[in-house]
Amino acid sequence: MKKIIALILAAMMLLSSAAALAEPVTLVYAEVNPLEGTIVGSIAKFFKEKVEELSGGEIIIDIQASGVLGTEAQILDGIMMDAGTVDISRISAFALSSYGCKKATLLSLPFVFENRAHFWNFANSELAAEFLNEPQTIGLPLRGIAYGEEGFRHFFFKTDLPVAGIEDLKDLKIRVSEDPVMTGMVNALGAQPANIPFTELYGALQTGVVVGAEQPIANYRSNAFPEVANTLLLDGHTLGAIQLVITDMGWAKLTEQQQAWILEAGKLTQEYNAQIVEAAEADVLAALKEEGCNIIEVTDKTPYMEACKPIVEANVGAEMAAYEAILNLK
């Protein structure tokens, strides 16, 4: 009788284990921007769809958007401390430069990419695979899944400011992310950088704490910044290179097959991003014009490029070979 009970208990334990194994793995995906009306929102939704499709529901992507899990810096700080709140995040490529990723710094240098085609030549190259793996090579608890871009980044200003060119930027207080390249660039252009959290930017513009900022145009419009800063200077000082990353803790939740599905979904998402981004950016620009945004075209970027040369030189450092390799992919 005891043997029968033991067998029953063992069978129950096996069934329980099988049921546990059958439970889907949920990965939390952090995005600081809204899902609707943004290129990064479209990317998040596509990635979720592909992961869940490829895995047959074994993996669920739980997207937490609009900064509900914190700013990009707060999310990355949590990842570095193994907080376990976030498994996957879409980040600006330059964000990892603050954590020792020297190659990532190159992607945010002013005017490093001549045009969109130049960036995608990089993103689809063997060099990009080397860049994606940089966090692992220096011991950070995350790894790259895919690259992408959300359009060129431009300055925007409060409506009453007469900004028409580089000479008008002198002494203006402009919000930028807490990054040495972005901060240095604003300084080089004669303005004053202010490191204000993205979630506080609308209020800072509204109250005059800062008079300008910079974003890709889709993010500019979707976050309602034209309501308080309706002048858009199309200088395209850098391309909004982005990447999807997964934490080591998130990666460890997955079987080898599930990891392969994540990487395949990343590859498909990168391809999807390349297909939609130009048209999506054009649609946003058309909508802004229709809504009465004061859009200023920069026909000659030479003064901006010349002013930013010292920042480029200061931040290339020992990565000159990698920087030249990027330039050669034009």
We report the CATH number of the domain holding residue 51 as 3.40.190.170
pTM of the model: 0.88
If one counts every other C-beta atom within 10 angstroms of the C-beta of residue 290, the result is 8
pLDDT in tens, 225-260: 999 999 999 999 999 999 999 999 999 999 999 999
Residue 270's domain comprises 2-327
In sequence order, the 6+-apart residues with CB closer than 8 A to the CB of 186 are: 174, 176, 192, 193
Percent of the chain with pLDDT over 70: 93
pLDDT in tens, 204-219: 999 999 999 999 999 9
Q: In total, how many domains does the chain have?
A: 1
pLDDT level of residue 19 (50, 70, 90 thresholds): very low
Q: How far is CA 193 from CA 184, 259, 270, 316, in A?
A: 8, 40, 32, 21
